[in-house]
Amino acid sequence: MTAPVFASERPVLRLKPKANARAIRRGAPWVFENELVMDRRSRKIAPGTIATLEDNEHTPLGTVAVNPNSKIVARMLDRELVDIDQTWLETKIAKALALRERLYDAPFYRLIHAESDGLPGVIVDRFGDTLVVQPNAAWADALIEVMADALVNVTGAANVLKNSGGRGRALEGLDDQDVVLRGSAPEAPVPVQMNGATYMADLTGGQKTGLFYDQRENHAFAARLAQGANVVDVFSHVGGFALASLAGGAASALSVDGSAPALALAEEGASQMGASGRFETRQGDAFATLEALAEEGKKFEVVICDPPAFAPNKPALDKGLRAYERVARLAAPLVAEDGYLVLCSCSHAADLNAFTGACLRGIGRAGRWATLIHTGAAGPDHPLLPQLAESGYLKALFFRL
């Protein structure tokens, strides 16, 4: 177990003269290598070390977590020079918990949304008495035992699981080993109630932490459109939009996904809702299935596509936008006249304008005419940090065709 790091014992990182200290003072959470004086001593700082950040005139800017091996060398933890210990962690977690308890009646939500909750690189999703933590930054990995104690003390949760599947861990030079930190892992999928639907969350073998909470509000809006409608949900995972649509009164819903285990969980959720008779699944490649449905002459009043991040970073942006355009082009012919097409992106590199443009190009290439009736984002348990565009990654566009 790594001991807490106290302010009087830590190294110092200093900004270069031309670095934008004003941006950091105004809330920018990341400091990159080209902004820092990276001398031999700085490069030898161990990943995960807590340090003091100063401007080029030696004025302290705050407390940072350091990883010289990452593109993000320093992550802002606090604007003051503070001890990063269990008490500090509990204060941050308590602030985050207070927001979620105001928003939600049941303990099923994203508890910690990284930089937006003042814990950079840290994701915590709550499933009742079980918390699933993704420590995607070296500092959080080094202090994971202290963090587990803080989480239990603040939330009263019985179980804390470490999920090491986050993409950011590889960029930080961290391992991919999952660990039970406190209590035990649930032996069966956990039922989660959202928008009247029941989702089965596999906390140990599923994608990410087991369930995507970020689409909650978008599921609810889609369910309003789906009343009495036939719905197809492509890239459905464990039933996402499909089960929410059934809860909202859809006549039928078809879930399409490449993962048989995910579709099995969707079927179990539909069964627990008493909606099995209106629910079907189809396993296969999403693009091939969209083409096959068109060849079969299928039409749906609501077509929803919620793919993985096709543009997870700037180098992948052009290729990702072409993929989003292709999704729109293949999905649009399936939409009945005056029906609805919902297209989503969780790629932070593709901003709203770029994503919207790709979708409209695809719809146009399919020979359809669209109006945009609603633009959705992640729910309030995924708060957006205005100084960090990446925290506002999710876009959901609702078109009428």
DSSP lists the bridge partners of residue 130 as 127, 159
Type and span of the H or E element at 230: strand 230-234
Domains of the chain listed by start with CATH number:
7-78 (2.30.130.10), 86-182 (3.30.750.80), 190-400 (3.40.50.150)
Helix axes 352-365, 317-331, angle to 10 degrees: 40
Contact 4, 83 (CB under 8 A): yes
Token digits for 177? 């080993």
Residues of the chain by 3-state class (helix, strand, coil), percent to 5: 35, 30, 35
d(CA 18, CA 29): 18
What does pTM read for this prediction?
0.94
DSSP state of 366: T
Query: Distance from CA of residue 383 to its chain's centroid?
Result: 11
Report the distance separating Cα 45 and Cα 31, nearest Å: 15
3-state secondary structure of 389: helix
Q: Are 236 and 286 in contact (CB under 8 A)?
A: no
From the centroid of its chain, how far is CA 207? 11
H helices of 130-204, in order, are 138-142, 144-155, 167-171
Provide the residue-wise pLDDT of the chain in tens; the chain has 401 residues. 455 556 667 999 999 998 999 999 999 999 999 999 999 999 999 999 999 999 999 999 999 999 999 999 999 999 999 999 999 999 999 999 999 999 999 999 999 999 999 999 999 999 999 999 999 999 999 999 999 999 999 999 999 999 998 888 988 999 999 999 999 999 999 999 999 999 999 999 877 788 999 999 999 999 999 999 999 999 999 999 999 999 999 999 999 999 999 999 999 999 999 999 999 999 999 999 999 999 999 999 999 999 999 998 899 999 999 999 999 999 999 999 999 999 999 999 999 999 999 999 999 999 999 999 999 999 999 999 999 988 889 999 999 99
CA distance 248 to 233: 14
Q: At 151, is the secondary structure helix, strand, or coil?
A: helix
Contact yes or no for 213/192 (Cβ under 8 A): no
Alpha-carbon distance of 226 to 224, in angstroms, equals 5
Please tell me the predicted confidence (pLDDT) of residue 1. Answer: 45
Q: How far is Cα 130 from Cα 385, in angstroms, rounded to an integer?
A: 26
- Residues with Cβ within 8 Å of residue 120, at least 6 apart in sequence: 29, 30, 65, 75, 76, 77, 114, 137, 139, 140
Q: What is the pLDDT of residue 3?
A: 53
Whether the Cβ atoms of residue 220 and residue 195 lie closer than 8 Å to each other: yes
- Per the listing, tokens 């959470």 go with 29
Structure tokens, 182: 């406190």
Q: Which residue in the block uniquely carries the two structure tokens 């490069």? A: 43
Per-residue confidence (pLDDT) for residue 352, from 0 to 100: 96
